[in-house]
């Protein structure tokens, strides 16, 4: 099998170069743009299946079993969730809305893990009423609110406690969550004390940790997984369940490399099993919560070029029909991407271009310093690695409707989210 062109490295598994440019499962991206319009989210079903099934298979090697709970915060589109459910994954939810999405997509309550640092009464009622497998407590107040809901509903609830172990990771500070200054979780000492003194109606099953997001160096993730069983033994915690969270990164540009989610999950299982053996502990049930690593590289966002202009400093802006309304990550984190012209991805660049979004903010920039063949009005720009934290973070600033989304596989392209019409923008106004 020939190697993929460098420009395609961040693109989904099914992406290839065809007679009219980039194709996905045999469908030219330019055809998808023409049929469904732009901006358009495009998801590759093969990429999602491959990564989800690899993680699920890796957990089957866990001595006491394991569960992969897909993080809905990364992508909660029902058409994709149904596909993930078919691969045998559970769901990691952080709100009543995400719980509703998981249930609509076919997940049952027993496959749900519920998160959040400020769960509302609505969120907690939704979790308990759904029969959620686990609720992860973020502190004492969280435990008291959940216990009150359990008393009201006459239920009991299995829980984990989220620990912030003080382990730093190499990622943007806004998406690092395991350090001592994080808003998430409690200190190890506080977590142990909470598990020893839970309110009536709550059953402590173990601990949870999540260090952050877009982590490419897996060493801290493995270190946290190894530390938790020893911590539980030292504190006398009955560790029935160990939830090691998610956070695995993906390739956003050709120069990056990313861990394989299946191999990483096997390494986690091996590390936890080894340390439990060393500590004389039974291996707990292992839960992982992948999100970005399952869907991130499956996604492409397609834009149409609206205009080009060279400005006073000599740089050339290429304006497209989307931007921060469908991709918040550039403005939030300074995220980088490697867009190409869908019909001419391998043509040599004629210069370095700045890709401008259409929103009335100077920070609305899709990418800076991108080498492209001379862009023309009407060209389709394809931005890879946009499957995670794009559609879920989309908004309607400037009253632009949110994009449509399609799922592509060998059978064709299926519309899974319709484009938001102008009239729909006012549906909540009274």
Q: Report residue 185's pLDDT band, with 50, 70 and 90 as the boundaries.
A: confident
The stretch 395-419 carries a mean pLDDT of 97
Q: Is the dihedral of CA 406, 408, 412, 416 positive or negative?
A: negative
- Output the pLDDT for position 225: 83
Name which of 199-203, 230-234, 289-293, 374-378 the model is least confident about. 230-234
- What pTM was estimated for this model as a whole? 0.93
pLDDT tens digit string along 298-336?
999 999 999 999 999 999 999 999 999 999 999 988 999
Give yes or no for a contact between 75 and 386, defined as CB atoms under 8 angstroms apart. no
- List of residues 6+ apart from 255 with CB closer than 8 A: none
Q: Is the pLDDT assigned to residue 168 strictly greater than 80?
A: no
pLDDT tens digit string along 128-149?
999 999 999 999 999 999 999 9
Name which of 75-84, 152-161, 227-236 the model is least confident about. 227-236
Q: Work out the mean pLDDT of the chain and round it to a whole number.
A: 93
Return the bridge partners of 114, or none: 93, 135
Give yes or no for a contact between 198 and 238, defined as CB atoms under 8 angstroms apart. no
CA distance 176 to 167: 10
- For the chain, give the percent of residues with pLDDT over 70: 96
Q: What is the DSSP letter of 321?
A: S
Q: Is the pLDDT assigned to residue 126 strictly greater than 60?
A: yes
pLDDT tens digit string along 256-287?
988 899 999 999 999 999 989 989 999 999 99
**Other beta carbons within 10 Å of 12:** 25
Taking every pair of Cα atoms in the chain, the longest distance, rounded to a whole number of angstroms, is 69
Rounded to 10 degrees, the C-alpha dihedral 128/129/130/134 comes to: 10
Which of these is catalytic: 93, 150, 276, 360?
A: 360
- Output the pLDDT for position 171: 40
Q: Is the pLDDT assigned to residue 95 strictly greater than 70?
A: yes
Name which of 154-158, 163-167, 294-298 the model is least confident about. 163-167
- Output the pLDDT for position 172: 38
Q: Report residue 182's pLDDT band, with 50, 70 and 90 as the boundaries.
A: low
Q: Is the pLDDT assigned to residue 177 strictly greater than 50?
A: no
- Output the pLDDT for position 169: 39
Position with higher pLDDT, 166 vs 199: 199
Has 360 been annotated as catalytic? yes
The stretch 168-194 carries a mean pLDDT of 64
**Alpha helix segments (H runs only) across 17-86:** 29-36, 45-59, 78-86
Going along 29-180, which residue ranges are E strands? 40-44, 66-71, 90-93, 112-114, 134-137, 157-162
Domains and CATH numbers, the chain: 6-44+297-426 (2.40.37.10), 46-294 (3.20.20.10)
Return the bridge partners of 18, or none: 21
CA distance 348 to 140: 58
Return the bridge partners of 309, or none: 317
CA distance 187 to 371: 47
Q: Is the pLDDT assigned to residue 337 strictly greater than 60?
A: yes
Q: Report residue 176's pLDDT band, with 50, 70 and 90 as the boundaries.
A: very low
- List of residues 6+ apart from 140 with CB closer than 8 A: 190, 194
């Amino acid at each position: 099998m020939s190697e993929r062109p460098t420009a395609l490295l961040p693109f989904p598994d099914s992406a290839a170069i065809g007679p009219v440019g980039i194709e996905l499962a045999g469908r030219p991206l330019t055809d998808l743009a023409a049929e469904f319009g732009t901006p358009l989210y495009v998801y590759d079903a093969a990429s999602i299946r491959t990564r989800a099934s690899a993680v699920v298979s890796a957990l089957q090697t866990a001595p006491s079993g394991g569960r992969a709970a897909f993080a809905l915060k990364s992508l909660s589109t029902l058409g994709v969730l149904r596909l993930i459910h078919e691969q045998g994954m559970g769901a990691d939810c952080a709100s009543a809305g995400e719980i509703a999405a998981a249930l609509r997509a076919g997940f049952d309550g027993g496959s749900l893990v519920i998160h959040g640092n400020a769960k509302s009464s609505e969120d907690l009622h939704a979790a308990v009423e759904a029969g959620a497998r686990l609720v992860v407590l973020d502190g004492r107040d969280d435990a008291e609110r959940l216990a009150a809901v359990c008393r009201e509903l006459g239920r009991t609830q299995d829980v984990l406690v989220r620990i912030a172990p003080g382990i730093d990771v190499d990622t943007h500070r806004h998406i690092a969550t395991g350090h001592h200054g994080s808003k998430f979780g409690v200190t190890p000492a506080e977590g142990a004390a909470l598990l020893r003194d839970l309110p009536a109606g709550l059953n402590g099953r173990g601990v949870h940790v999540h260090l952050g997001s877009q982590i490419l160096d897996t060493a801290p993730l493995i270190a946290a997984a190894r530390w938790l069983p020893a911590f539980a033994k030292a504190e006398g915690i009955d560790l029935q369940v160990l939830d090691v969270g998610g956070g695995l990164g993906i390739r956003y540009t050709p120069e990056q490399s990313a861990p394989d989610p299946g191999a990483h999950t096997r390494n986690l299982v091996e590390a936890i099993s080894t340390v439990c053996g060393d500590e004389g502990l039974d291996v707990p049930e292992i839960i992982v919560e992948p999100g970005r690593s399952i869907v991130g590289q499956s996604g492409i966002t397609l834009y149409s070029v609206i205009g080009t202009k060279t400005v006073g400093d000599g740089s050339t802006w290429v304006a497209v029909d989307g931007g921060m309304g469908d991709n918040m990550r550039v403005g939030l984190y300074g995220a980088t991407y490697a867009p190409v012209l869908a019909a001419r991805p391998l043509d040599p660049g004629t210069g370095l271009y700045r890709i401008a979004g259409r929103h009335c903010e100077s920070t609305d920039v899709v990418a800076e310093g991108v080498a492209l063949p001379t862009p023309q009005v009407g060209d389709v720009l394809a931005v890879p690695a946009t499957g995670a934290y794009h559609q879920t973070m989309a908004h309607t600033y400037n009253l632009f409707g949110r994009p449509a989304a399609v799922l592509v596989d060998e059978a064709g392209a299926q519309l899974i989210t319709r484009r938001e019409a102008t009239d729909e923008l006012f549906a909540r106004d009274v």
